[in-house]
């Protein structure tokens, strides 16, 4: 006789489904739309950077900060934002995040100078820090079946792929027809509409029981650590890597993050449960998220610059070229959820890392006059590989905790993603623009085009090696003997996020 010994799933809290027992798909559509807007604000802006540089007389460093001011605040506040959702209600925090995003977008579109644009991007970046952890936590709570949850997370990830796919082309079209300011201004009415839809369709979920006061010192140390390290990387190319200010930024940032980890280990009610990283699956998901977004988003930003600054393409043409990456991402992300539901997280994640790494390294043949006909398939493989990674990373992280702390787990994972994105833009930007003049005006002359391509090659080499190295590093973390797991009393897959499918055992 065959007995089913599948690990018991963590029972959802009473009332965590949508009100009245209705299907959770409308709520998924709303939270996926929030992710779409947040990601779109990065990809749309990347295509408009050269035009912003000409209009506001911005330097290359100013343009990097136009991307990183948004991403950095987004990354720094994700963990406090996720914990705030767990404590104060995910629906309310999600709606607040959308409203803040819309207000920051409106201010950015009206900014008359670079300084005010960067300040508006800081405000805008606080929005996703509130809405994205809440959106994943809402999915975790409303989709009770594991397979349906994997599919839902795959669709959620697909929304970011669609944003990456349409963002560059949409941004190019908006810049060409209306000007770069409308890249920001159009977000405001979209955010207002999303607030109304969230109020109607997103269910109110039980709050986690607060075990103590909010960890304000921990939040301050985490924000300071990430911000100082990113500042040092971005300013290093302008001021010099041995500059006293840059070295002080690295030292202070590393010190703040070290103090954060030590303090969190001693607190009874920490902002982040650092013991999560002792669970191999959660550690693997976090490492993969950091590396994937380091390589991927930096590539999108600087491929957009390559087509415009080296080949003289219009913003629309550059957006269409880079959009191939996003289309492939969206298609692969849709299938990734089904693959995870059938085969587990390990193989989709490792396969995606290796495919994307090899695709990036194949782009080292790219030259100043290389046409899309020669490299489109590399772009498609890059997008498909990254698309395969999204759902495995999210399901591993969310299954590591119970539903009450899903916001915290989602925040940590997304913080890893956004920190990777911020450092990808900064580090790869230092490689691409390191030997170019400080101005970012179009077009570059012949010698500058060669320098840009040489810097892009260095960035591609770093990205490709990092993706393949990540696959090698996390592969052992995703292999856990089941007997050892039970003998040590570790949580089951439904709680600890162990990879692979539950199996049936014969008595």
Is residue 375 domain-shared with residue 266, that is, in the same domain? no
**Tokens 């449960």, residue?**
273
Nearest to 389 by CA among 332, 433, 326: 332
Asked if 198 and 204 count as a contact pair (C-beta separation under 8 A), the reply is no
Burial of 69 (0-12, 13-18, 19+ CB in 10 A): buried
Is residue 262 domain-shared with residue 277, that is, in the same domain? no
Handedness of CA 425, 431, 437, 443 (dihedral sign): negative
State phi, psi for 500 to the nearest 5 degrees. 90, 170
Residue 200 half-sphere exposure toward CB, CA atoms < 13 A: 9
* C-alpha triplet 440, 463, 316: angle, nearest 5°: 45
Q: The domain spanning residue 183 has which CATH number?
A: 1.20.1250.20
Is residue 249 domain-shared with residue 344, that is, in the same domain? no
Instruction: Answer whether residue 7 is part of any domain.
Output: no
> Cis omega (within 30 of 0) on the bond before 163?
no
Give the range of the structural domain holding residue 258, as residue numbers without chain letter.
Answer: 216-270
Is residue 244 domain-shared with residue 327, that is, in the same domain? no
Where among 249, 270, 291 does a domain terminate?
270
Alpha-carbon span 185 to 166, nearest angstrom: 17
What is residue 441's predicted lDDT score, i.e. its pLDDT?
47
Alpha-carbon span 329 to 383, nearest angstrom: 4
**Tokens 């490689």, residue?**
431
Nearest to 31 by CA among 201, 148, 234: 201
Asked if 288 and 413 count as a contact pair (C-beta separation under 8 A), the reply is no
Asked if 319 and 61 count as a contact pair (C-beta separation under 8 A), the reply is no
**Tokens 């343009």, residue?**
63
Taking the CB of residue 500, how many other CB atoms lie within 10 A of it? 16
Query: Which residue(s) pair with 3 in the sheet?
Result: 505
State the DSSP H helix or E strand holding residue 216, giving kind and residue range, or none if neither.
helix 216-239
Instruction: Answer whether residue 13 is part of any domain.
Output: no
> One digit per residue, pLDDT tens: the chain, 507 residues?
444 444 444 344 333 444 444 457 788 888 888 888 888 887 788 778 878 888 887 776 677 778 778 877 877 787 777 777 777 777 888 899 899 999 999 999 898 888 889 899 989 988 888 888 777 778 877 777 777 777 787 777 778 767 766 777 788 788 888 888 998 999 999 999 999 998 888 877 666 555 557 777 887 888 888 778 877 876 776 677 788 888 898 899 889 989 988 888 887 777 777 777 888 888 888 899 889 888 876 666 778 778 888 888 877 787 778 878 878 887 887 788 778 877 778 888 999 999 999 999 999 988 888 888 888 898 999 989 988 888 888 888 777 666 666 667 777 777 787 778 767 877 787 788 776 655 444 467 777 888 888 888 888 999 999 999 999 998 888 875 444 434 333 343 433 334 444 444 444
Taking the CB of residue 118, how many other CB atoms lie within 10 A of it? 18
Burial of 448 (0-12, 13-18, 19+ CB in 10 A): middle
Is residue 130 domain-shared with residue 66, that is, in the same domain? yes
Is residue 241 domain-shared with residue 324, that is, in the same domain? no
Handedness of CA 451, 452, 458, 460 (dihedral sign): negative
Alpha-carbon span 270 to 169, nearest angstrom: 43
- 59: DSSP letter: B
The tokens describing 162, both together, are 């669609």
| pTM of the complete model beyond 0.85 | no
- 58: DSSP letter: -
Instruction: Answer whether residue 14 is part of any domain.
Output: no
Is residue 321 domain-shared with residue 464, that is, in the same domain? yes
Residue 183 half-sphere exposure toward CB, CA atoms < 13 A: 34
What is residue 437's predicted lDDT score, i.e. its pLDDT?
59
Instruction: Answer whether residue 450 is part of any domain.
Output: yes
**Tokens 């030259």, residue?**
367
The alpha carbon torsion through 133, 137, 140, 143 (nearest 10 deg) reads: -110
Domain count, the chain: 2
Is residue 266 domain-shared with residue 278, that is, in the same domain? no
Is residue 158 domain-shared with residue 252, that is, in the same domain? no
The alpha carbon torsion through 446, 449, 451, 452 (nearest 10 deg) reads: 170
Asked if 46 and 429 count as a contact pair (C-beta separation under 8 A), the reply is no
State phi, psi for 429 to the nearest 5 degrees. -65, -40
Instruction: Answer whether residue 3 is part of any domain.
Output: no
What is residue 165's predicted lDDT score, i.e. its pLDDT?
66
Is residue 224 domain-shared with residue 243, that is, in the same domain? yes
Taking the CB of residue 108, how many other CB atoms lie within 10 A of it? 29
The tokens describing 192, both together, are 């207002």
Is residue 351 domain-shared with residue 322, that is, in the same domain? yes
Distance of CA 376 to the CA centre of its chain: 24
**Tokens 């590093």, residue?**
473
What is residue 480's predicted lDDT score, i.e. its pLDDT?
57
Instruction: Answer whether residue 430 is part of any domain.
Output: yes
Instruction: Answer whether residue 71 is part of any domain.
Output: yes
What is the residue-wise DSSP string for 67-134? HHHHHHHHHHHHHHHHHHHHHH-HHHHHHHHHHHHHHHHHHHHH--SHHHHHHHHHHHHHHHHHHHHH
Is residue 474 domain-shared with residue 370, that is, in the same domain? yes
Query: What 3 state SS string does 464-494 have?
Result: HHHHHHHHHHHCHHHCCCHHHHHHHCCCCHH
Alpha-carbon span 369 to 301, nearest angstrom: 19
Instruction: Answer whether residue 198 is part of any domain.
Output: yes
């Amino acid at each position: 006789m065959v007995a089913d010994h599948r690990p018991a799933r963590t029972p959802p809290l009473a009332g965590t489904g949508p009100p009245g027992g209705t299907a959770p798909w409308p709520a998924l559509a709303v939270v996926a739309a929030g992710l779409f807007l947040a990601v779109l604000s990065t990809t749309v802006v990347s295509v408009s950077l050269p035009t912003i540089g000409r209009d506001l007389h911005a330097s290359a460093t100013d343009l990097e900060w136009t991307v990183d001011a948004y991403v950095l605040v987004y990354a720094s506040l994700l963990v406090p934002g996720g914990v705030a959702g767990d404590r104060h209600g995910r629906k309310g925090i999600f709606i607040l995040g959308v409203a803040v995003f819309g207000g920051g977008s409106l201010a950015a579109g009206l900014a008359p100078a670079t300084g005010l644009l960067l300040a508006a991007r800081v405000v805008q970046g606080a929005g996703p820090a509130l809405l994205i952890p809440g959106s994943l936590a809402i999915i975790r709570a409303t989709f009770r079946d594991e397979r349906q949850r994997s599919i839902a997370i795959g669709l959620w990830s697909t929304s970011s792929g669609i944003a990456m796919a349409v963002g560059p082309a949409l941004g190019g079209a908006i810049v060409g027809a209306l000007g770069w300011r409308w890249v920001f201004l159009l977000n405001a009415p979209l955010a207002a509409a999303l607030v109304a839809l969230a109020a109607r369709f997103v269910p109110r979920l039980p709050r986690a029981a607060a075990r103590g006061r909010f960890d304000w010192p921990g939040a301050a140390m985490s924000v300071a650590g990430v911000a100082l390290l990113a500042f040092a990387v971005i300013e290093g190319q302008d001021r010099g890597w041995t500059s006293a200010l840059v070295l002080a930024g690295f030292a202070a940032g590393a010190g703040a993050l070290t103090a954060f980890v030590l303090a969190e280990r001693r607190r009874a009610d920490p902002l982040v449960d650092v013991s999560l990283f002792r669970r191999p699956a959660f550690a693997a998901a976090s490492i993969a998220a950091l590396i994937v977004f380091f390589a991927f988003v930096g590539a999108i930003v600087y491929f957009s610059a390559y087509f415009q600054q080296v080949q003289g393409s219009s913003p629309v043409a550059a957006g269409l070229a880079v959009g191939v990456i996003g289309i492939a991402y969206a298609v692969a992300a849709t299938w990734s959820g089904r693959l995870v539901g059938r085969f587990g997280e390990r193989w989709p994640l490792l396969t995606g890392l290796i495919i994307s790494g090899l695709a990036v390294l194949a782009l080292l043949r790219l030259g100043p006059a290389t046409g899309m006909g020669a490299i489109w398939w590399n772009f498609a493989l890059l997008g498909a590989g990254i698309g395969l990674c999204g759902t495995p990373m999210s399901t591993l992280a969310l299954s590591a905790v119970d539903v009450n702390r899903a916001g915290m787990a989602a925040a940590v994972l997304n913080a890893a993603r956004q920190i990777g994105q911020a450092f990808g833009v900064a580090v790869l930007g230092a490689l691409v623009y390191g030997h170019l003049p400080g101005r970012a005006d179009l077009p570059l002359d012949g010698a500058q085009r060669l320098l840009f391509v040489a810097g892009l090659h260095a960035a591609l080499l770093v990205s490709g090696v990092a993706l393949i190295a990540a696959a090698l590093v996390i592969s052992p973390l995703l292999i856990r003997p089941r007997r050892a797991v039970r003998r040590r009393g570790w949580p089951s897959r439904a709680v600890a996020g162990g990879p692979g499918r539950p199996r049936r055992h014969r008595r």
